[in-house]
Amino acid sequence: MTASSGSSSRYQAMNIRPFHETDTEEVVALWTVCGLVVPWNDPRRDIARKLNVGRELFLAGEVDGRLAASAMGGYEGHRGWVNYLAVHPDFQRRGYGRMMMTAVEEKLLALGCPKINLQVRETNEAVIQFYQKIGYKSDRVVSFGKRLIPDD
């Protein structure tokens, strides 16, 4: 799927395609530069786990053959999820994040997914504003988590 940001013709189109295992190191580097890698989640383990469950929802975005973006979608039959949306700083503010989200939303909708959830660190105001701008709203819920398999 090739998409254009529509915001300006000066930006190149982005090719959105399925993630390939050979993308692993580039994706980890992307997530790292975007500040998505945290000590308690091993990104390579997260990738390996994703490849075993719904790998068709793991997308990569390329601009001129360079990995510029990623998004990891998920669906368990009740809610869709988006994790690891990342756009390399060199490619931000060109509409590529919105294009990645649209691609994931379309794939989830085709599966019959009625709603998408995602989590953003409450201190990440820029990302919160991004999601609000593309139609996401804060749900009045408390997010709980319990680690079953430690990555450290």
The domain 2-133 having CATH identifier 3.40.630.30: the answer here is: yes
Q: Is the pLDDT of residue 38 over 60?
A: yes
CA dihedral 74, 38, 87, 103 (to 10 degrees): 0
Q: Indicate left, alpha or beta for 6 from its phi (over 0: left) and psi (-120 to 50: alpha).
A: left
pLDDT score of 89 more than 90: yes
Tell whether the model's pLDDT for residue 70 goes beyond 50. Answer: yes
The string of pLDDT tens digits covering residues 44-57 is 999 999 999 999 99
pTM over 0.85: yes
Please report the pLDDT score of residue 26 as a whole number. 98
**pLDDT score recorded for residue 114:** 97
Contact 117, 81 (CB under 8 A): yes
Is the pLDDT score of 140 beyond 60?
A: yes
* Percent of the chain residues topping a pLDDT of 70: 94
Q: Where are the domains of the chain?
A: 2-133
* pLDDT value for 7: 47
